[in-house]
Amino acid sequence: MGDPGSLEAWALLTAVVAATFGLGSVLLGLFSALTGKDHWPKVIWRLRRRVPASEEDRRTHGVALMLNGAAMLMILMGVSMTALTAGVRDGEPLKALRFLLTLIGLGASIACVLGANAVFRRVRYLHGQASTPEVPRI
């Protein structure tokens, strides 16, 4: 195995990279939910097999993206809290409180993922072409 400090650093570096993707998902979902426009760049937009059928479907898709990103961020906060306090020797009440906070975060993230799945099911898609003749703004 390796040095515990280097393992902690790798865990936190991985958490930072994943948190960047989670925050990006939240921001892209927020953009789609507020504007009703597609958030994909023009090059990738043309290669997609399915696109949301209408502006309202793009908004719904954006809400689901926000929920997935929020779930990812909650899980990463629990992982980071565990990694940062692995070597800390504190009293039993603080350990119980840390466990309770991690458990609440895990439950909330599972609820967000299930909610995002339910929202994704409501989105109607068109296959092979865009829903509107206009090209999305980049």
Give pLDDT tens digits for 81-98. Answer: 877 777 777 777 888 888
pLDDT band at residue 77 under the 50/70/90 scheme: confident
Residues 6+ apart with CB under 8 A from 12: 80, 83, 84
pLDDT above 70: residue 54: yes
d(CA 33, CA 42): 19
d(CA 111, CA 41): 30
pLDDT band at residue 2 under the 50/70/90 scheme: low
What pLDDT score does 7 carry?
78
The domain spans of the chain are 4-127
Query: Which of the residue ranges 63-72, 84-93, 119-128 would you say has the lowest mean pLDDT?
Result: 84-93
* Average pLDDT of the segment spanning 104-123: 94
pLDDT above 60: residue 129: no
- Contact assessment for residue 53 and residue 99, using Cβ atoms and an 8 Å cutoff: no
What pLDDT score does 110 carry?
95
pLDDT above 90: residue 113: yes
